[in-house]
Amino acid sequence: MHSSKPEDAFSLTDKLAIITGGGTGLGFAMASCLIAAGARVVITGRRPDVLESAVTRLGPSASAEEHDVTDLEGAAGLLERIQQRHGVPTILVNNAGTHVKQPIEQHTLSDFHSILATHVEGAFAMTRATVPSMKRAGSGSIIFIASMSSLIGLPNIVGYSAAKAAYLGMVRSLASELGPTGIRVNGIAPGWIETPMLAQALSGDQERTNKILARTPQKRFGAPVDIGWAAVYLSSPAASFVNGVILPVDGGASIGF
């Protein structure tokens, strides 16, 4: 759709989105923004109480389906349930993730495998399950939530960095493969965003806080809705010719000096 009207170009009316890990943090913010743009949203996660609370706050355009993204064989069943209960999704946001901060000597193989299973295998399984219905619809937008660790070297998070760097290859390969079918695949690389996870990571570590702000040209942390509106853009007709991109939303941190 090509329109010179902003309300059309950025509209997600009649779209159905799936957001993994949508009950908290950036997932919840993206759900809020997609709903504001007119979409209906299905959030997924492992904790039914968190999902229920999120749906209550998000309102009638939100629904939830309990699902652990590491249940790789269960992804197809999840998509069947969503289509039966909510309709055909044409937006998928691979957001669910886990994180371990340890030096390499303490970073266990079990932790490494768990991080890759959640981020890489989980996103692969969800994408694989969602693509057939998008192909039948003739359009779709798939978004991978990458990270600053996809782009720059950060210490003590080797498993997380490996997983998020893998998203770069997944986005580019899938964008090349699926572009001819009308499905676009992109990524968002959030910078340091004010979430409970960031607050916990920086608690009592003023040196690290100062270091982050020093390399961020805008000299502040981002807000969750900064990621939410980026997801709206990449899902909308305004981005109809945007494919295979990793969009940093980071206040310039990835290029700052």
In the chain, where are the structural domains located? 6-197+224-247
Between 256 and 180, residue with greater pLDDT: 180
Question: Could you give the strand order of the β-sheet that contains 91-94, starting from the edge strand earlier in sequence?
Answer: 62-66, 40-45, 16-20, 91-94, 140-145, 183-190, 246-249
Between 256 and 257, residue with greater pLDDT: 256
**β-bridge pairing 40-45 and 91-94:** unpaired
Return the closest-CA partner of residue 251 out of 223, 211, 232, 210: 223
pLDDT for position 226: 98
Q: Is the pLDDT of residue 17 over 60?
A: yes
Give Cα 59 to chain centroid, integer Å.
21
pLDDT for position 2: 63
Tally Cβ neighbours within 10 Å of residue 214: 11
The CA angle 3-43-74, to the nearest 5 degrees, is 115
Q: Is the pLDDT of residue 4 over 70?
A: no
Q: What percent of the chain has pLDDT over 90?
A: 89
Q: Is the pLDDT of residue 6 over 60?
A: yes
Whole-angstrom distance, CA of residue 72 vs CA of residue 74: 5
Instruction: Give the residues across from 230 on adjacent strands.
Output: none
* Residues tagged active-site: 160
pLDDT for position 3: 61
Return the closest-CA partner of residue 23 out of 1, 42, 3: 42
Confidence of residue 257 (pLDDT cuts 50, 70, 90): confident
At how many degrees (to 10) do helices 224-235 and 25-36 cross? 50
To which residue do tokens 């100062």 refer?
Answer: 210
Q: Is the pLDDT of residue 1 over 60?
A: no
pLDDT for position 256: 87
Confidence (pTM): 0.96
Domain 6-197+224-247 CATH assignment equals 3.40.50.1380 = no
Give Cα 176 to chain centroid, integer Å.
20
pLDDT for position 5: 81
Sign of the alpha-carbon dihedral angle for 51, 120, 76, 110: negative
Whole-angstrom distance, CA of residue 247 vs CA of residue 229: 12
Do the Cβ atoms of 66 and 42 come closer than 8 Å?
A: no
Q: Is the pLDDT of residue 91 over 60?
A: yes
Confidence of residue 43 (pLDDT cuts 50, 70, 90): very high
